[in-house]
Structure 1
Amino acid sequence: MDALMMLFLALRLLLAGILLMAAAGKLQHRAAFAATLGEFAVPAALRPALAWLMPLTELAIAALLLFAASAWWGAAAGAVLLAIYSAVLACLLQRGLRPSCNCFGLEDAKPISNTTLARNGVLLLMAATLVYAGPAYAHASVWHYLAEAPALSACLAVMLAQWWLLHQVLRQNGRLILRMDNIELRLDAANVQPLQAVDTQARGLVVGSLAPEFTLPEAGGGRPQSLARLRSAGLPVLLIFSDIGCSPCAELAPRIESWHRQFRERVRIAVILRVDTLQTQQPRPPGGCILLLQEDRQVAASYDALVTPSAVLVSAEGTIASHLALGAKDIYDLLQATLPQTYETREIAA
């Protein structure tokens, strides 16, 4: 096998592997991927069909690339698909829009950027190289080459097994964190105290310092909300920092709405969500929790709250009233600790 044939074989395997990973991620989180298509302005009627069609197309192209006889057709189809993806990304970026890209599944969800476009460009160049070889080029058989190199085949099998195991461990770790949060909330509700407190380093801004001011658009296209306006009711403000691509944040969202309904007369709760420009027009449920939208975590960074979900309490006077709480359990504990302080402040003022 000459060097050129080895290069083309490597390109085919790499493209096929990337397309297989992308298709698997989309199929595994098909509902989330369908929702992501809405961020790309795809009509609602087309999203369910595209959520199936796109990953199945990627699977078909990957299969064509693996066989020598159909490698050119797979490369041509891959080049067309990648060209369409790149054109859509370039158009959105030029318009200043940065929707979340679930290209490889929910775990890899993050706003599109020039890096995303460059990655697609590299893949498109790889596919174009295979197309340039022409349909008459005699590509090497992947299966025959793997049979002649049993050590390489074994290494590839071990690498695939390790990747699958790592993926499962990361998913299981996320589920365990959510279960631990639920258990801690139930123990706290039953007034069961831990055997000993664990000393942890305080996170966030210094308690008593002036809270950074901000003005952010409200979900649904409402008028911008500032911290001063949130404090105008004379109540403390609980700022909860969330992220569109954060699974624990999505699990926490219904609890936040419940807290808002239960404690709205005692503390104002505002969720600051890292989101893309298109979602600023999504409607907010009537009477729901205040939902403010930020890009690039600029407000979260000013509060040293780059981990999500996290929360900090701002007093009615505009000062930092708590350390940064991380996770559902700590946020709930912070909210519960805030309520008695609110009553004491009102009694003293009376």
Structure 2
Amino acid sequence: MVLAARLVLAAVFGVAGIAKLLDREGLPRAIASFGLPARTEKPLGYLLISYEFVTALALIVNPWARIGALGALGLLLTFCLAIVVSIARGRTPDCHCFGGLRATPVGWATLARNGLLAATAGFVATDGRAPWFFTGLGTIAATCWVVLGLKRSGKVRPGMVTPGFEPFRVR
């Protein structure tokens, strides 16, 4: 189970790094839209891409997997903090988490997705100890991600009756 989690995380960080590398114009704009100084755009972009590649590689190589998971966890928590600060300031900059592949505005669904990935990284970092804890965190984050993603897409609206169920009516 830990190996599968390592490979999933490695794939996520590898794809994110490649996509950011190919999105040379979008990444600096995304960094600036989070409110960071313009002079940091390029250096932070290269640092982020390098960090993601090193993390992906470390997750694949057995002796480094724990360090890679801790790196992934640190980066994901940093992203979560940046998202929360942006939302608190009333801003929803484009995420560019996966470069130009999927540049969407950050929001609670982005935070939930990162929470799911952070729970997975925590599971790997502890070498599979306390699986009930990380499974619980992951389940909560995954549920929030799906519900918020559906809500964002307009497929779920407040007061909408769930298909296949009749609302309870008192007679």
TM-score, normalised relative to structure 1? 0.36
CA apart distance, 1:133: 2.4
Aligned to 1:9: 3
Letter in 1 for 2:48: M
Q: Distance in 1 between matches of 2:62 and 2:80?
A: 27
Q: Distance in 2 between matches of 1:106 and 1:77?
A: 24
Letter in 2 for 1:123: L
Equivalent runs, 1:52-91 vs 2, <5 Å:
52-91=46-85
2:16 pairs with 1:22: yes
Choose the corresponding residue for 1:121, options 115, 131, 156: 115
Aligned to 1:44: 38
Going by fraction, where is strand more abundant, 1 or 2?
Answer: 1
| Secondary structure in 2 matching 1:100 | coil
**In 2 relative to 1, CA 76–107 (structure 1 residues): closer, same or farther, beyond 3 Å?**
closer
CA apart distance, 1:103: 0.9
Equivalent runs, 1:171-320 vs 2, <5 Å:
none
Letter in 2 for 1:43: P
Encode CA deviations 1:29-69: one digit per residue, 9 max, x unaligned.
12211111110111111111011110110000000000111
Letter in 1 for 2:15: M
Q: Distance in 1 between matches of 2:40 and 2:52?
A: 18
Aligned to 2:144: none
**Identity score, percent:** 32
CA apart distance, 1:92: 1.1
Structure number with greater CO (CA < 8 Å, separation at least 6) is 2
Letter in 1 for 2:108: N
Unaligned runs of 5+ in 1: 1-6, 135-295, 297-350
Aligned pair count?
Answer: 129
Choose the corresponding residue for 1:106, options 100, 104, 108: 100
CA apart distance, 1:91: 1.4
Unaligned runs of 5+ in 2: 129-151, 153-171
Q: Distance in 1 between matches of 2:126 and 2:60?
A: 18
Encode CA deviations 1:97-142: one digit per residue, 9 max, x unaligned.
10111111123111111110000000000001111228xxxxxxxx
Q: Distance in 1 between matches of 2:105 and 2:52?
A: 21
Q: Distance in 2 between matches of 1:96 and 1:45?
A: 24
Structure number with greater Rg is 1
| Secondary structure in 2 matching 1:123 | helix
Aligned to 2:169: none
Q: Distance in 1 between matches of 2:69 and 2:45?
A: 22
Encode CA deviations 1:269-316: one digit per residue, 9 max, x unaligned.
xxxxxxxxxxxxxxxxxxxxxxxxxxx9xxxxxxxxxxxxxxxxxxxx
Letter in 2 for 1:120: N
Aligned to 1:160: none
Aligned to 2:134: none
Going by fraction, where is helix more abundant, 1 or 2?
Answer: 2
- Runs of 4+ residues over 6 Å off in structure 1: none
Root-mean-square deviation (Å): 1.4
